[in-house]
Amino acid sequence: MEGLECMEITVCNGTVQSLSIRINGQANNADVTVRVYCRPPSQDNYVDELFFEELRDASKPTAVVFIGDFSLPEINWKHHTAGTTKVRRFLKDLNDNFMEQVLRDPTWKDFLLDLLLVNRVDFMSQVVISHETRWKELHN
């Protein structure tokens, strides 16, 4: 399609998957980059660093939307805190790149594992979480 660029990234023997789509000229005539990301719970620091590099690069020229399963149940999104150094670093890198977590309701049991991160809240008017049976099956 005209106005779309797509890039698929697979890192570390397929343990991390990311799909990136750049939509040209959509947010007040600026580009929007949408990245779908799956972070396994056992992801190591090296792969986390690759994610943060991707985040830094993506958020420079465009509006960015990161969506996916980040497997970080220890984050308290209400107070923006975490118990481990690794997860506190994740929160710091989000802040450093002006990324905001938009979802507020649990997406898996009592946890908010699936995140919607944006660097421009102004083009996010309404977010609805679907709790369909199929969605729950994917996370069991």
105: CATH: 3.60.10.10
> Which pLDDT score, from 0 to 100, does residue 140 have?
45
| Cα(114)–Cα(72) distance, integer angstroms | 9
Q: Is the pLDDT of residue 120 over 50?
A: yes
Indicate the average pLDDT of the chain: 73
User: What is the pLDDT confidence band of residue 110, given thresholds at 50, 70 and 90?
Assistant: low
Range of the domain at 130: 4-138
CA Rg value for the chain: 15
pLDDT tens, residue by residue, 52-106: 887 777 766 678 888 888 878 888 888 889 988 888 988 998 888 888 888 777 6
Say how many domains are in the chain.
Answer: 1
Q: Which residues contact 73 (CB under 8 A, 6 or more apart)?
A: 111, 112, 113
What is the dihedral sign for C-alpha 127, 125, 52, 98? negative
Higher pLDDT, 126 or 139: 126
Cα separation, 84 vs 35, in Å, equals 26
pLDDT at 21 over 70: yes
Give the model's confidence band at 16: pLDDT under 50 very low, under 70 low, under 90 confident, else very high.
low
Residue 16 is inside which H or E element, if any? strand 16-27
- DSSP letter at 81? B
* pLDDT value at 124 more than 60: yes
* CA 81 to mean position of chain CA atoms: 17
